[in-house]
Amino acid sequence: MNKIFTVAGIGEVLWDVFPHRARIGGAPANFAWHCSQIGAKAYPVSCIGDDDFGRRMLDELQAAGVHTNYLSTTADYPTGQAKVTFDPVGKPSYEIVLNSAWDHLELTTELQQLASQLDAVCFGSLSQRSEQSRQTIQSFLRAMPPHSLKIFDVNLRQSFHSKELLEGSLQAANILKLSDEELPVLAKYFALKGSTSEQLQQLQAQFELRLLIYTRGEHGSLLVSADAMDDAPCQPTDMVDSVGAGDSFTAAICMSLLDGMPLDQVNIFANKVASFVCSQVGATPELPSQFKLNQ
């Protein structure tokens, strides 16, 4: 990869608060973090509070080489938090604090200018739970170049989704990422029928997606385009926790697509990155040099 691509993750930036520690989280921040490590100029786009958590977030992101130019600060709302607990097999669940700073993301001239220069963006449904942030994100997407990748990571959390929200996001995206737990929700909303692969093909065709990414945890992932389908197994790993693995997978998909990899190589590369993240503590471990495409 000779070109340095410019990408962004827009939406929720928060702290994942574990029983004994707190780590930077939120899909847009995780996505930007991993894209930066793989080789992009990456920006999280969000809003944080003028508080200790907000200042610590800026320090840690900057120390990791993530650009924080587009993290705005407000004194009116706190930096977001998600309280994380795990079930017996290590699967996380999240309690996400309401009315956080990222619910009040405002569209600025600077954000519109960034959007016009992007090669790719990742956004989700959780980040659009407030009307203000939803309008900002949709306007941001409309300002992007026609050829850019607009990755909609469904990322269903609690009750922060609806058919209207998902449909609007799918219409704005050209790439969709969803999990085996999320497909039944979309199947109900959009009257998808038949086998899993048939439902995925219906989604891809209905919204004219360049690519549909379907993740199945330990069973790997399925990539579906208009004329191809690729199935890749999960890479072996010593599981520590799966927090952020999906976001690292999305980042790896994004960067390998921009790099021009064939679909089967894209799938294998993303599974390798996600498996490594599962073997580490937290959502944003340092990636080995073998995953850095600019080297």
Confidence of residue 282 (pLDDT cuts 50, 70, 90): low
Residue 161, pLDDT score: 80
Q: Residue 132 domain-assigned?
A: yes
Question: What SS3 state is found at 225?
Answer: coil
Query: Which residues have C-beta within 8 Å of that of residue 69, sequence separation ≥ 6?
Result: 43, 110
Q: Residue 44 domain-assigned?
A: yes
Q: Residue 293 domain-assigned?
A: no
- In this predicted structure, the answer to whether residue 243 has a pLDDT above a threshold of 70 is no
Residue 241, pLDDT score: 63
Residue 279, pLDDT score: 77
- CATH for 142: 3.40.1190.20
Q: Residue 295 domain-assigned?
A: no
User: What integer best gives the mean pLDDT of the chain?
Assistant: 90
Confidence of residue 288 (pLDDT cuts 50, 70, 90): low
How many domains would you assign to the chain?
1
Instruction: Give the model confidence (pLDDT) of 252-267 as tens digits.
Output: 999 999 999 999 999 9
C-beta neighbour count of 124 within 10 angstroms: 29
Residue 159, pLDDT score: 72
Tell me if 101 sits within 8 A of 79, measured CB to CB.
Answer: yes
- In this predicted structure, the answer to whether residue 185 has a pLDDT above a threshold of 90 is yes
- In this predicted structure, the answer to whether residue 2 has a pLDDT above a threshold of 90 is no
- In this predicted structure, the answer to whether residue 19 has a pLDDT above a threshold of 70 is yes
Residue 72, pLDDT score: 96
Q: Residue 1 domain-assigned?
A: no
Tell me if 176 sits within 8 A of 194, measured CB to CB.
Answer: no
Phi-psi region of 38 (alpha: psi -120 to 50; beta: other; left: phi over 0): alpha
Confidence of residue 240 (pLDDT cuts 50, 70, 90): low
Q: What is the C-alpha separation between 131 and 193, in angstroms, rounded?
A: 32
Burial (0-12, 13-18, 19+ Cβ within 10 Å), 178: buried
Phi-psi region of 65 (alpha: psi -120 to 50; beta: other; left: phi over 0): left
Q: Residue 158 domain-assigned?
A: yes
Residue 56, pLDDT score: 95
Q: What is the C-alpha separation between 16 and 35, in angstroms, rounded?
A: 19
- The boundaries of the domain holding residue 181 are 6-284
Confidence of residue 294 (pLDDT cuts 50, 70, 90): low
Instruction: Give the model confidence (pLDDT) of 215-228 as tens digits.
Output: 988 888 999 999 99
Q: What six digits make up the tokens of 50?
A: 């003028």
Q: What six digits make up the tokens of 36?
A: 């930066």
Instruction: Give the model confidence (pLDDT) of 138-182 as tens digits.
Output: 999 999 999 999 999 998 876 778 999 999 999 999 999 999 999
Residue 239, pLDDT score: 63
Q: What six digits make up the tokens of 283?
A: 């959502």
DSSP states along 36-83: HHHT-EEEEEEEEESSHHHHHHHHHHHHTT---TTEEEESSSPPEEEE
Q: Residue 290 domain-assigned?
A: no
Q: Residue 289 domain-assigned?
A: no
Do strands 175-179 and 71-74 pair parallel, antiparallel, or not at all (unpaired)? unpaired
